[in-house]
């Protein structure tokens, strides 16, 4: 009997303790929401963690979102625009032949570690990427260099505050490219200290300095008091990883965070109805499209990125005879109701695309009249081409959502049903993302869905990269329609070497006319970008390049 009593007492005491702990834990929330010192801290909810914090050695948007507050380049984008303005360089001169750009550097700028910003830092930041014998070249892959900056032959110091960039051929896109994160200036003393591990100890000249990185959880930055434009208004900027979009929105609604990226379009009504939240949207620099494999690939044996005379055209593995016929490609353009796809599947957060680049970019041809949705016309064209009974084909559908392609599976099904209406029987094929990229770039698909988010805000970064015949390289193609047109490639190559913006714009407009007529792609949509903030967050301006600049942001 005694033993039972003890057990009873134990149970009672245990219950009381557990209840007390739970009570304290449940109601102690109020103790922690008020920090001891009133600092202005902005917590931004991100969809994933950064890979590395070396701006020259990353390709993922999450890494760029952090490094953009830590580092700066010679030039930068104007607020809300893809045009450039001086940053760490105060001015520059381009030589007559367009091969030599001299930059005057800003004086009195310091890195977060106290190192002076000067020509040595600029040369270091560039040279480690292109010079394979540079002792820091081994520490990164420098994925963007070969593709965006290979026209840069050398970066030379003239004096402490003057550098010279020498190009191997004229490149009118180079100035906008220099605003990219890839060529941000890093502290050479810091790189020397950390060597292989410098990517987790980032030191730049930007408005915020790095404090802490807890993997998959958060990255903390704090205001850099010696910032050359003046101390930022926020004391701290924290990037917190919240992968699931509904969890991210709940965290914003409960004020655990102050802003978030990639809201689910299905939640836009909820966000707009909540007076504590503000939804920022702006046109995005992207295009989502359907590509039809025209069958022209080549092996870039000398790896110069250009199809030379000794590199013959080879039939792509996914070559499909009907798509070599222009009428068939036009018919498919007529057969798909893009407006309905944008309204119902992009949920109204995109605009219908008629050209292969976004409307706000230099050289966009607004004169072009899009193929309207017209089933009868499509059937007529197919009959003309000798396919009155239609044909069977396969559509490769991306396995992941991308900003330019919300819900690819549903978009694929919609296209399947539109094409069924004109007697084209479409099978849908899906495979994991990295394999998808590998195989579509090798030309194994008859038709595929894909898209592009621009890197630098320059038209070349859409037109040449996606539609030029030099990009039909089997295995690494940017032009996944494997569509060859020498006249188009000549226009694009000429445009890249034309510094006069009016002449340059005209060349791109002409190029779009050819693309529209030949119709190797069905351009579907340009998706908007969207961020959500609490209503007391002030000063954030969306940039067309989708990069995040937190310097002007304040908490009211």
Partner 1 sequence: MKWYIIKRLLQIIPVILGVTLIAFTLIHIAPGDPVRTLLGQHATQQEIEEIRSKYSLDQPLYIQYFIWLSDVVRGDLGRSILTHEEVTIEIASRFPNTIELAIAAMIFAIIIGVFAGIISATKQYSIADYSVMGIALFGISMPVFWLGIMLMMIFGVFLGWLPIGGRIDLLIPFQRITGFMVLDSIITANGAALISVLRHLILPAIALGTIPMAIIARTTRSSMLEILRQDFIRTERAKGLSERTVIYKHALRNAMVPVVTVIGLNFGLLLSGAILTETVFSWPGVGRLVVDSVYARDYPLVIGCILIFSLVFVIVNLITDIMYTYIDPRIHYD
| Minimum separation from the CB atom of position 7 to partner 1 (A) | 6
CB of 161 to partner 1, least distance (A): 33
Q: Does 473 bind partner 1 (CB under 8 A)?
A: yes
Cβ neighbours for 326, distance < 8 A, ≥ 6 positions apart = 517, 518, 519
| Contact status: 376 vs partner 1 (CB under 8 A) | no
Nearer to partner 1, 355 or 473 (CB): 473
Residue 432 lies near partner 1 (rule: CB under 8 A): yes
The footprint of partner 1 on this chain (CB under 8 A) covers a number of residues equal to 65
Integer Cα distance of 416 and 313 in angstroms: 30
- H or E, element range at 544: none
Which residues on neighbouring strands pair with residue 473, listed in sequence order? 298
Tokens at residue 539, please?
A: 């000063």
Which range of residues in 88-96, 140-148, 366-374, 406-414 is near partner 1 by CB under 8 A?
A: 140-148
CB of 540 to partner 1, least distance (A): 19
Six token digits for residue 99: 């091969």
What's the gap between Cα 220 and its chain centre? Answer: 23
Q: How far is residue 328's CA from residue 326's CA, in Å, rounded to a whole number?
A: 5
Residue from 96, 216, 275, 310 touching partner 1 (CB under 8 A): that is: 216
3-state secondary structure of 126: helix
Q: Compute and round to an integer the Cα radius of gyration of the chain.
A: 27
Q: Is 2 in the site for partner 1 (CB under 8 A)?
A: no
CB closer to partner 1, 314 vs 437: 437
Establish if 478 lies at the interface with partner 1 (CB under 8 A). Answer: yes
| Residues ≥6 apart with Cβ < 8 Å to 257 | 43, 44, 45, 240, 242, 248, 251
Which is nearer to partner 1, 433 or 499 (by Cβ)? 433
DSSP string, 74-86: SEEEPTTSS-EEE
Q: Which is nearer to partner 1, 182 or 529 (CB)?
A: 182
Cα separation of 395 and 217, whole Å? Answer: 38
Q: Using CB under 8 A, pick the residue from 253, 281, 493, 506 that binds partner 1.
A: 253
Binder of partner 1 out of 12, 16, 20, 24 (CB under 8 A): 24
Q: Does 254 bind partner 1 (CB under 8 A)?
A: yes
Rounded to an integer, what distance in angstroms lies between the CA atom of residue 202 and that of residue 198? 6
Interface with partner 1 by CB under 8 A: which range of 153-161, 242-250, 267-275, 380-388? 242-250
Q: Is 159 in the site for partner 1 (CB under 8 A)?
A: no
Q: Which two tokens stand for residue 413?
A: 């099904």
Minimum distance between the CB of residue 262 and partner 1, rounded to whole angstroms?
A: 14
The pair of structure tokens assigned to 111 is 């890195």
Among 26, 133, 309, 502, binds partner 1 (CB under 8 A): 26
The least distance separating partner 1 from the CB of residue 313, rounded to whole angstroms, comes to 17
Q: CA–CA separation, 534 vs 367, rounded Å?
A: 40
Does residue 59 touch partner 1 according to CB under 8 A?
yes
Asked if 125 contacts 178 with a C-beta cutoff of 8 angstroms, the reply is: no
215 binds partner 1 (CB under 8 A): yes
Q: How far is the CB of 120 from partner 1 (least distance, A)?
A: 25
d(CA 253, CA 264): 14
Q: Are 542 and 80 in contact (CB under 8 A)?
A: yes
Binding-site string for partner 1 from residue 282 to residue 321, where x marks contact by CB under 8 A and - marks none:
------------------x--x-x----------------
CA-CA distance, 542 to 530, in Å (whole number)? 8
HEC string for 487-529: HHHHHHHHHHCCCCHHHHHHHHHHHHHHHHHHCCEEEEEEEEE
- Give the Cα separation of 33 and 254 in Å (integer): 12
Given candidates 196, 275, 310, 500, which one binds partner 1 under the rule CB under 8 A?
Answer: 196
| Least separation in angstroms between CB 268 and partner 1 | 19
CA–CA distance, 191 with 443 (Å, rounded to integer): 41
Least Å distance, CB 299 to partner 1, is: 9
Using CB under 8 A, pick the residue from 94, 280, 431, 555 that binds partner 1: 431
Residues that bind partner 1 (CB under 8 A): 1, 3-4, 7, 24-29, 31-33, 35, 41, 43, 51-52, 57, 59, 140-141, 143-144, 146-147, 196, 199-200, 214-218, 220, 238, 240-244, 246-247, 250-251, 253-254, 256, 300, 303, 305, 431-435, 437-438, 441, 452, 465, 473, 475-476, 478
């Amino acid at each position: 009997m005694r033993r039972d009593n003890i057990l009873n007492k134990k149970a009672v005491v245990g219950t009381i303790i557990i209840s007390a702990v739970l009570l304290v834990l449940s109601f102690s929330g109020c103790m922690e929401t008020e920090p001891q010192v009133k600092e202005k801290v902005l917590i931004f909810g991100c969809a994933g963690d950064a890979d590395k914090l070396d701006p020259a050695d990353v390709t993922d948007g999450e890494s760029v979102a952090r490094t953009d507050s830590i580092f700066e380049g010679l030039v930068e984008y104007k607020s809300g625009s893809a045009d450039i303005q001086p940053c760490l360089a105060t001015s520059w001169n381009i030589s007559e032949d367009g091969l030599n750009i001299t930059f005057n550097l800003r004086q009195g700028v310091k890195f977060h570690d106290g190192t002076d910003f000067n020509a040595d830092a600029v040369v270091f930041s560039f040279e480690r990427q292109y010079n394979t014998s540079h002792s820091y070249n081994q520490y990164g892959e420098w994925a963007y260099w070969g593709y965006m900056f290979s026209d840069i032959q050398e970066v030379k110091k003239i004096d402490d505050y003057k550098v010279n960039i020498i190009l191997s051929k004229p490149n009118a896109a180079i100035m906008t490219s220099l605003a990219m994160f890839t060529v941000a200036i890093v502290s050479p003393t810091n790189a020397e200290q950390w060597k292989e591990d410098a990517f987790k100890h980032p030191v730049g000249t930007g408005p915020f300095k790095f404090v802490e990185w807890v993997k998959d959880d958060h990255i903390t930055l704090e205001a850099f008091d010696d910032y050359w434009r003046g101390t930022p208004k926020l004391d701290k900027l924290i990037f917190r990883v919240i992968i699931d979009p509904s969890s991210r929105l709940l965290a914003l609604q409960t004020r655990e965070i102050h802003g978030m990226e990639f809201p689910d379009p299905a939640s836009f009504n909820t966000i707009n109805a909540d007076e504590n939240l503000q939804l920022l949207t702006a046109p995005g620099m992207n295009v989502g499209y359907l590509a039809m494999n025209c069958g022209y690939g080549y092996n870039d044996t000398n790896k110069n990125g250009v199809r030379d005379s000794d590199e013959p055209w080879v039939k792509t593995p996914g070559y499909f005879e009907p798509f070599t016929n222009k009428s068939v490609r036009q018919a498919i353009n007529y057969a798909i109701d893009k407006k309905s796809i944008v309204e119902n599947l992009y949920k109204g957060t995109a605009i219908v695309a008629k050209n292969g680049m976004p409307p706000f970019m230099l050289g966009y041809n607004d004169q072009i009249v899009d193929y309207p949705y017209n089933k009868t016309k499509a059937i007529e064209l197919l009959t003309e081409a000798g396919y009155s009974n239609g044909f069977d084909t396969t559509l490769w559908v991306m396995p992941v959502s991308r900003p330019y392609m919300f819900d690819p599976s549903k978009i694929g099904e919609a296209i399947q049903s539109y094409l069924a209406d004109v007697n084209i029987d479409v099978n849908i094929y899906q495979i994991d993302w990295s394999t998808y990229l590998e195989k579509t770039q090798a030309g194994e698909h008859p038709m595929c869905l894909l898209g592009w988010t621009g890197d630098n805000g320059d038209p070349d970064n859409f037109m040449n990269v996606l539609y030029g015949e030099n990009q039909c390289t089997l295995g690494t193609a940017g032009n996944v329609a494997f569509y060859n047109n020498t006249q188009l490639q000549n226009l694009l190559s000429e445009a890249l070497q034309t510094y006069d913006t009016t002449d340059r714009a005209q060349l791109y407009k002409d190029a779009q006319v050819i693309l529209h007529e030949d119709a190797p792609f069905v351009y579907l949509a340009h998706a908007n970008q969207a961020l959500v903030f609490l209503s007391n967050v002030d000063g954030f301006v969306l940039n067309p390049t989708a990069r995040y600049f937190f310097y002007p942001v304040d908490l009211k």
